Amino acid sequence: MGIVGFVVVAVLAFGLGFWLTKRLQRQDARQQHNSPAMPPLPQPLALSLPPDLDHQVQQLLAQNQAIAAIKLVRQSTGWDLRTSKAYVDRLRLNQ
């Protein structure tokens, strides 16, 4: 019974360790997903758009076309989606 008991204890210890690890990973992932903290704004937001492009974006926002405004900013500047959305959101808040 010595070796069999040792194997049983080892398998149980391994299973318990594996289960606890997975549980903590899920709990950590849930906490990160539900985090209300906003990420810092990307650096290109310190720059401004040319006046004519800024005017077009503001007109689209006035017509409640935020997606079109984001698309216009992305196409005109080459910024990624996150940066373009953050820029448009900041304009929307300042209106």
pTM, two decimals, is 0.53
Query: How many helices (H) and strands (E) are present in the chain, helices listed first?
Result: 4, 0
2 pLDDT tier (thresholds 50, 70, 90)? confident
42-76 residue pLDDT tens: 554 556 788 898 899 999 999 999 999 999 999 99
Q: Please report the pLDDT score of residue 42 as a whole number.
A: 54
Rounded Cα distance between 29 and 69, Å, is 32
